[in-house]
Structure 1
Amino acid sequence: MTDISYKINNKLSDVAIEKAIGHFIRHTRKQQHRKQADVAKAAQISRSTLSLLERGETVTLSTLIKVLRVLDELQTLQAFEVKQQLSPLALAKLQKKERQRIRESGTNLNDNGTTW
């Protein structure tokens, strides 16, 4: 097997991306020295469905998730994680609250620093 690296970008067609995903699945499975039948059984899919996925054919998202889980590669989906971010306005409000002065309780100071 020749090791072909795919860089997924906007210029690739959908078919090319599906083939890159299939190549990743096949490569990962082979690196783990696992047979198609064993991975398919663990993922509760047919071996032919796994073969379709590895060839870059269209399969369901559920099938891809099952296979990634079995191969311990679910972390590849972290790119889809939505991270909460503060809006600039909310950030400014938080920073304003943090900048409040700390005053000594019960002591009033005049302009030259002495107590009244």
Structure 2
Amino acid sequence: MNWYSLSDLAILRELGSSLRQIRLNRNQSQQAVAEAAGIDRATLSQIEHGRPTSLLTFVQLLRTLEQLDLLDTLVTKAEINPLALARLAKKQRRNASPASSTPPPPPPAEW
């Protein structure tokens, strides 16, 4: 699906329709899912029909439907720039300093 060709409201309708299909595939009623998510059944119905909702409500529904793994694609890990990594590698020590030829001084005598 080309998400960029859709309006924001059309995207919400697609997401709502997908949530509805997930719920139906799990053979759960709107009332049961709404109660488990802590929202009103009418709210769930509106979401399934593409009405705007809060991100919190959307996450509550994903959790209730055991679909939080769908969020994996939204989370990106910080990556280090390859040039910065090369600069760091140049700065790392590669050899230890040669050992000193003079022995360390003896510990002070205890009197």
Shorter-chain TM-score tier = 0.7 to 0.9
Deviation of 1:94 after TM superposition, in Å, equals: 4.3
- Alignment-derived partner of residue 84 in structure 1: 78
- Superimposed CA distance per residue, residues 74-112 of structure 1 (whole angstroms, 9 cap, x where no aligned partner): 1112222121101122221344468x4x79x99xxxxxx
Q: Cα distance, 1:8 vs. partner?
A: 4.6
Runs of 4+ off more than 3 Å = 94-98
Could you give the per-residue CA deviations for residues 47-83 of structure 1, whole angstroms, max 9, x where no partner exists?
0000001001111111111000000111112222121
Structure 2 segments unaligned to the other structure (5+ residues): 100-111
- Report SS of the residue matched to 2:61: helix
Q: Could you say which residue in structure 1 is the equivalent of 2:13?
A: 19
TM-score normalised by length of structure 2: 0.77
Amino acid at match of 1:51: S
Q: Which has the larger radius of gyration?
A: 2
Deviates more, 1:87-96 or 1:51-60: 87-96
Q: What residue number does 1:58 align with?
A: 52
Corresponding residue for 2:63?
69
Following the alignment from structure 2 to structure 1, what is the Cα–Cα distance between the partners of residues 40 and 6? Answer: 29
Give me the CA root mean square deviation.
Answer: 2.0
Partner of 2:31: 37
In structure 1, C-alpha distance between the alignment counterparts of 2:91 and 2:75, rounded to whole Å: 30
Contact preservation (8 Å) 1:8, 1:17:
no
**Contact kept in structure 2, 1:22 and 1:56, CA below 8 Å:** yes
- Percent identity of paired positions between Structure 1 and Structure 2: 37
**TM-score between the two structures when normalised by the length of structure 1:** 0.74
